[in-house]
Amino acid sequence: MTEYTVEFVGTGETITVSDKQTILKACLEEGIAQEYSCRVGMCLACSAEIIEGEVAQPAARGFTEAERENYALTCMARPQSDLKLERGVYPPSIEDDIASGAADTAAADD
């Protein structure tokens, strides 16, 4: 087992996570307010942008192949190096869904 440092940029929060542990599990144990919902890699609520480092996340089914390079599903991702992550940042495909959902809501209010 190897342990890595995971830093959440802009928060001052840094935790130690083993390569056998998911980042979300370590966050919950350390009291870090990482957002999540399904915990099985489907809802993408736990997404974070990978600023630096690598993760293993073969079960991150909600991401495209390209998104797996730049984003971590923290409920599935295990560190493979020291990491810098930005929490609450979603891939463009998800941001588009959020934007269109907001547009639908605005239209419904009219």
Residues that bind ligand FES (CB under 6 A): 36-39, 41-46, 62, 73, 75
Q: How far is the CB of 60 from ligand FES (least distance, A)?
A: 8
For the bound state, the minimum distance from the C-beta of residue 67 to ligand FES, rounded and expressed in Å, comes to 12
Candidates 66, 64, 71, 65; CA nearest to 85 is 71
Least distance (Å) between residue 24 CB and ligand FES: 7
In whole angstroms, what is the distance from residue 38 CA to residue 44 CA? 8
Nearer to ligand FES, 7 or 74 (CB): 74
Smallest Cα–Cα separation from 2: which of 56, 68, 51? 56
Please say which residue, 35 or 103, places its beta carbon nearer to ligand FES.
35
The radius of gyration of the chain from alpha carbons, rounded to an integer in Å, stands at 15
Which one, 15 or 48, has the nearer CB to ligand FES?
48
For 7, half-sphere exposure in the C-beta direction (CA atoms, 13 angstrom radius) is 9
